[in-house]
Structure 1
Amino acid sequence: MSLSVALQVAQSALSARQTQMATVSRNVAGAQDAGYTRKSVMLSTVTSSSGQPGGVRVDGISRTTDAGLYATLLRSTSVGTAQQALLDGLTTMATTVGDTELELSPAAQLGVLKTALQTAASDPNDTILAQDLLSAARDMALSLNQASETVQGVRADADAAIADSVDQINKLLGQLEALNSVIVRGTQSGADVTDALDSRDQVLLSLSEEIGITTLSQGDGGVAVYTDSGVTLFETTARPVTFAATNTFTASTVGAAVYIDGVPVIGDNAVMPISSGRLSGLAMLRDEAAPTYQSQLDEIARGLIEAFAEADQTAVNPDQAGLFTWSGGPAVPATATLSVGLASDIRINANADPDQGGDLDLLRDGGISDPLDPNYDYNPADNAGFSARLQELLEKLEAPMVFDSTVELDPTDSLSGFSASSVSWMEARRQTVTDNLEVQSVIVARTAESLGNETGVNIDEEMTRLLELERAYAAAAKLISAVDNMLDDLLSAAR
Structure 2
Amino acid sequence: MSLSVALRVAQSSLAARQTETAIASQNISGANSSAYSRKSVLLSSVVTSSGQSGGVKVSGIGRATNDPLYKTLVQATSVASSQDAYLDGIARLAETVGDTSLESSPAAYLGQLQISMQNYASDPNSPIQAQAALDAAKDMANALNDATRLVQNVRASADEDIDGSVENINSLLDQLETLNTLIVKGNQSGDDITSALDSRDQVLLSLSEEVGITTLSREDGDIVVYTDSGVTLFETTARDVSFERTPTYDATTQGNAIYVDGVPITGDDAIMPIKSGKIHGLTILRDDATITYQAQLDEVARGLIEAFAETDQSAGGLPDQTGLFAYSGSPAIPATGVMSPGLAGDIHIESAVDPDQGGTTDLMRDGGINGASYVYNTAGEASFGDRIQGYLDELDASRTFDIDARLDADDTLMGFATNSVGWLESARKSASADLEVQTVVVQRTAESLSNVTGVNIDEEMTLLLDIERGYSAAAKLISTVDKMLDDLLAAVR
Distance 1:63 1:96 in 2: 50
1:482 is displaced (CA, Å) by 2.4
Counterpart of 2:233 in 1: which secondary structure?
strand
Structure 1: 5+ residue stretches without partners: none
Amino acid at match of 2:61: I
Q: Which residue of 1 aligns with 2:377?
A: 379
1:87 is displaced (CA, Å) by 1.0
TM-superposition CA deviations, 1:114-168 (whole Å, max 9, x none):
0011000001111111111111111111110110001000001111111111111
Moved more, 262-271 or 414-423: 262-271
Amino acid at match of 1:483: V
Given the alignment of the two structures, is residue 127 of structure 1 paired with residue 103 of structure 2, yes or no? Answer: no
2:320–2:332 Cα contact (<8 Å) kept: yes
Distance 2:162 2:316 in 1: 53
Q: Which residue of 2 aligns with 1:494?
A: 492
Amino acid at match of 1:285: L
TM-superposition CA deviations, 1:251-305 (whole Å, max 9, x none):
0000011111111112232222111111111111110111110000000000111
Q: Which residue of 1 aligns with 2:79?
A: 79
Superposed counterparts of 1:204-243, under 5 Å: 204-243=204-243
Distance 1:467 1:425 in 2: 63
Identity %: 61
1:358 is displaced (CA, Å) by 2.0
1:63 is displaced (CA, Å) by 0.9
Per the alignment, do residues 306 and 96 of structure 1 end up closer, same or farther by CA in structure 2, a change over 3 Å counting?
farther
TM-superposition CA deviations, 1:464-495 (whole Å, max 9, x none):
00001111111122222222333333333334
Q: Which residue of 2 aligns with 1:442?
A: 440
Q: 1:399 aligns with which of 385, 397, 417?
A: 397
Distance 1:253 1:245 in 2: 12
Distance 1:100 1:416 in 2: 10
Q: Which residue of 1 aligns with 2:4?
A: 4
Q: Which residue of 2 aligns with 1:163?
A: 163
Superposed counterparts of 1:12-411, under 5 Å: 12-98=12-98, 100-313=100-313, 314=315, 316-368=317-369, 370=370, 372-374=371-373, 376-411=374-409
Counterpart of 2:400 in 1: which secondary structure?
coil
Amino acid at match of 1:156: A
Amino acid at match of 2:413: L
Counterpart of 2:295 in 1: which secondary structure?
helix
Q: 2:455 aligns with which of 457, 470, 479?
A: 457
2:229–2:275 Cα contact (<8 Å) kept: yes
Distance 2:165 2:195 in 1: 27
1:315 is displaced (CA, Å) by 6.4
1:205 is displaced (CA, Å) by 1.1
Counterpart of 1:426 in 2: which secondary structure?
helix
Two-structure CA RMSD over aligned residues (Å): 1.4
Distance 1:420 1:96 in 2: 16
1:227 is displaced (CA, Å) by 0.7
Counterpart of 1:10 in 2: which secondary structure?
helix
Distance 1:88 1:385 in 2: 52
Distance 1:64 1:470 in 2: 23
1:452 is displaced (CA, Å) by 1.3
Given the alignment of the two structures, is residue 429 of structure 1 paired with residue 417 of structure 2, yes or no? Answer: no
TM-score between both structures, scaled by the size of structure 2: 0.97
Amino acid at match of 1:330: P
Distance 1:97 1:150 in 2: 9
Counterpart of 1:413 in 2: which secondary structure?
strand
Amino acid at match of 2:109: Q
1:414 is displaced (CA, Å) by 0.6
1:309 is displaced (CA, Å) by 1.2
Counterpart of 2:219 in 1: which secondary structure?
coil
Counterpart of 2:403 in 1: which secondary structure?
coil
Amino acid at match of 2:357: Q
Distance 1:11 1:179 in 2: 35
Distance 1:29 1:137 in 2: 67
Structure 2: 5+ residue stretches without partners: none
1:443 is displaced (CA, Å) by 1.1
Moved more, 48-57 or 198-207: 48-57
1:98 is displaced (CA, Å) by 2.1
Distance 1:209 1:444 in 2: 12
1:101 is displaced (CA, Å) by 3.8
Amino acid at match of 1:304: L
1:99 is displaced (CA, Å) by 5.0
Counterpart of 2:45 in 1: which secondary structure?
strand
Counterpart of 2:141 in 1: which secondary structure?
helix
Distance 1:192 1:360 in 2: 84
Distance 1:302 1:396 in 2: 13
TM-superposition CA deviations, 1:340-394 (whole Å, max 9, x none):
01000111111211222222111112222x1x232x2222122222212211211
2:100–2:418 Cα contact (<8 Å) kept: no
Q: What is the total number of aligned residue pairs between the two structures?
A: 492
2:265–2:272 Cα contact (<8 Å) kept: yes
Counterpart of 1:435 in 2: which secondary structure?
helix
2:99–2:422 Cα contact (<8 Å) kept: no
1:84 is displaced (CA, Å) by 1.1
Moved more, 87-96 or 74-83: 87-96
Distance 1:329 1:270 in 2: 39
TM-superposition CA deviations, 1:19-62 (whole Å, max 9, x none):
11111111112222341111100111122334332221211111
Amino acid at match of 1:414: T
Counterpart of 2:40 in 1: which secondary structure?
strand
Structure 1 runs (4+) deviating above 6 angstroms are none
2:99–2:421 Cα contact (<8 Å) kept: no
